[in-house]
Amino acid sequence: MGATKTVHSLPVVSVIIPARNEEVCLGDCLQSIVAQAGVEFEVIVVDDHSIDRTREIAQSFPKVKVIDAGPLPNGWTGKNNAVTTGARQAHGEWLLFTDADTIHLPGSLARALAEARENQVDLLSYSPEQVAVTFWEMAVLPIVFAELARQYPLAKVSDPNSPDAAANGQYILVEREAYGAVGGHAAFAEDILEDVALARAVKSSGRKIRFRYAADAVRTRMYRNYQQLRDGWTKNLALLFPNPGWLALRTLAFWAVPWAVASTRAAGILSDLGWDTIVVLTFLLLAIRINRANFPLKMTLLAAVFGMPMFAYLLLRSRIAHNQGNISWKGRTYSDKNSAAAGGRRPTADDAKLATGH
Q: List the single range of 13-17, 27-31, 51-55, 342-346 with lowest mean pLDDT.
A: 342-346
The band of 71, judged by pLDDT with boundaries at 50, 70 and 90, is: very high
Q: What is the pLDDT of residue 333?
A: 87
pLDDT tens digits for range 256-276:
877 776 677 666 665 565 656
Percent of the chain with pLDDT over 70: 86
Over residues 154-164, the mean pLDDT reads 96
Model confidence, pTM: 0.88
Average pLDDT of the chain? 88
pLDDT tens digits for range 167-222:
999 999 999 999 999 999 999 999 999 999 999 999 999 999 999 999 999 999 99
Integer Cα distance of 133 and 140 in angstroms:
11
Domains of the chain, by residue range, sit at 13-133+151-224+337-356, 239-334
Over residues 98-103, the mean pLDDT reads 98
Strands 102-104 and 218-220, sheet pairing: antiparallel
Nearest to 232 by CA among 243, 242, 218, 221: 221
Cβ 216 vs Cβ 273: under 8 Å = no
Integer Cα distance of 248 and 254 in angstroms:
10
- SS3 of residue 209 by DSSP: strand
Over residues 77-89, the mean pLDDT reads 97
- SS3 of residue 114 by DSSP: helix
The band of 6, judged by pLDDT with boundaries at 50, 70 and 90, is: very low
- The continuous run of DSSP H or E covering 98 comes out as strand 94-98
Q: What is the pLDDT of residue 284?
A: 76
Q: Rounded to 5 degrees, what angle do the CA atoms 242, 247, 250 make?
A: 155
Q: What is the pLDDT of residue 342?
A: 38
Over residues 288-311, the mean pLDDT reads 87
The fourth-level CATH superfamily of domain 13-133+151-224+337-356 is Spore Coat Polysaccharide Biosynthesis Protein SpsA; Chain A (3.90.550.10)
**Beta-carbon count within 10 A of 161 CB:** 5
CA 135 to chain centre: 21
DSSP label at 305? I
